[in-house]
Amino acid sequence: MKIKNLIVFGTRPEAIKMAPLVKAFQQNNSDFITKVCITAQHREMLDQVLSFFEIQADYDLDLMRPNQDLYTLTAAIITEMKPVLEEFQPDFVYVHGDTTTTMAASIAAFYAGAKVCHVEAGLRTHNKWAPFPEEINRSITGRVADYHFAPTITSKENLLKENIDDHSILVTGNTVIDALNFSVSKVSSKEFFDAEIEALKKSINSEIIILVTGHRRENHGQGFIDICSALKDIAIQYPEAQIMYPVHLNPNVQKPVYNLLSDIPNIKLIEPLSYPAFVWLMEKSYLIITDSGGVQEEAPSLGKPVLVMRETTERPEAVEAGTVKLVGTDKDKIVSETRALFENENLYHQMSELHNPYGDGKAVERIVKFIKELPHGK
């Protein structure tokens, strides 16, 4: 009997991190029947990733709505998952990380009697309000899950402290590195053509690129105003550098960013980038300033120092390894840490040459092997 896998995700970061797992299970089709269900919590951004990784969804719940809130989204995911689970009757349902899709799909899978596998399990800030709602999403998923694929030893230790059975936890490394390795080689290949990357090449007029990304809910309001003031100061202090800022579509982000930064010649505010173009731009950057979780994991593999615009992070390993620094939304701190990386060559090399604590690109191989070796596939 083949093992039936249902892999569920709804946002671009989940799709990127689950894509290598989908491909690995599909290649092992003598042992597994694998189907993909997307909630499409983020529609456009998700579709780009699926096409880049050449993945087709078997079930598309298409739940994105204007002005969506957490109440309606959570309810819709649980109710819309029911027919999918009843029709396919999976043995295992895989969810990723800490989105609303992760939490709601894990509950639906539990109701259906499937085993729940949590990829990127065990991340914690131990503060339920930061990041909101992600900390609670991943904590709930951790209670529901049968198997926990922890990216690092630290995340495994978090789970053990919550009385999760040691035998149900596997430290895999992060699947984002598997995805990044695939992507860098694809965007660098001569055969690969991407109109967006070609347009980026034309718009870049400096050797020194600072890539900025910011969208976290907890930074909305004053946080974004302070971030923009810091970027303005950096642009003025380093006119030879070019700040590339793909601006998130959320109006709470767009408004302060365009108000404060649109008239500065060496800051380029651009549309959000598709995943291949973003990988290409990360690879070309000198330094990355971000509040994104995924970027904190990817950039060290590319040898890029990262300044993280958050007060806390559920990814302390990179901070401990020295590949990223927490600067919060404190204007002076963002500016002074950027200055240090521009003016202290040793510090720059030290941050860019450190190894990546998040993995070696073999995470999905370990997950597939683990599931294969479970007694009777259960």
pLDDT per position as a tens digit, 209-218: 999 998 766 6
pLDDT at 376: 65
Secondary structure class of 287 (helix, strand, coil): strand
Catalytic residue among 12, 124, 148, 215: 215
One-letter amino acid of 35: K
Are residues 351 and 319 in contact, defined by beta-carbon separation less than 8 angstroms?
A: no
Residues 237 and 312 in one domain: yes
The reply to whether 310 and 372 lie within a common domain is no
The answer to whether residues 279 and 246 touch, using CB atoms and an 8 Å cutoff, is no
Cβ atoms of 113 and 146 closer than 8 Å: no
Which is catalytic among the residues 60, 194, 217, 311? 217
Active site residue 332: no
Position 182 in a domain: no
Residue 55 backbone phi and psi in degrees, to 5: -120, 135
Number of domains in the chain: 2
What is the spatial distance between Cα 304 and Cα 287, in angstroms, rounded to a whole number?
Answer: 6
Residue 149: which H helix or E strand, with range? Answer: strand 147-150
- Alpha-carbon distance 302 to 121, whole Å? 24
Domain for residue 103, yes or no?
yes
Residue 217 is a catalytic residue: yes
Statement to judge: residues 106 and 200 lie in one domain: no
Give the H or E element holding residue 230: helix 222-237
CATH number of the domain encompassing residue 52: 3.40.50.2000
Closest residue by Cα to residue 48 from 279, 311, 362, 355:
279
pLDDT by 10s per residue, the chain, length 378: 999 999 999 998 899 999 999 999 999 999 999 999 999 877 877 888 999 999 999 999 999 888 889 999 999 999 999 999 999 999 999 999 999 999 999 999 999 999 999 999 999 999 999 899 999 999 999 999 999 999 999 999 999 999 999 999 999 999 999 999 999 999 989 899 999 999 999 999 999 999 999 876 666 778 888 999 999 999 999 999 999 999 987 787 788 889 999 999 999 999 999 889 999 999 999 999 998 888 888 998 899 999 999 888 888 888 998 999 999 999 999 999 999 999 999 999 999 987 888 888 999 999 999 999 998 645
Residues forming a β-bridge with 92: 5, 115
Give buried/exposed letters for 356-377 (b at 16+ CB in 10 A, else e): bbbbebebbebbbeebeeeeeb
Residue type for position 346:
N
Handedness of CA 317, 225, 137, 274 (dihedral sign): negative
Active site residue 134: yes
98 & 239 share domain: no
* Helix pair 43-52, 12-27: axis angle to 10 deg: 30
In degrees rounded to 5, what are phi and psi of residue 115?
-80, 135
Query: 252 by DSSP, 3-state: which?
Result: helix
The answer to whether residue 298 is domain-embedded is yes
Same domain, 241 and 260: yes
Tokens matching residue 164 = 């999760």
Is 26 in the same domain as 99? yes
For residue 325, give its domain range: 193-353
Tokens of 186: 């694809």
Contacts of 223 (CB under 8 A, 6+ apart): 216, 309, 329
143 part of the active site: no
> Whole-model pTM?
0.83
Comparing CA positions, the residue from 69, 72, 77 lying closest to residue 101 is 77
Is 188 part of any domain? no
Tokens of 369: 């092997």
User: Annotated catalytic residue: which of 248, 330, 360, 365?
Assistant: 248
Catalytic residue selected from 14, 80, 91, 120: 120
Catalytic residue among 14, 80, 91, 98: 98
Q: Rounded to whole angstroms, how far apart are CA atoms 21 and 363?
A: 9
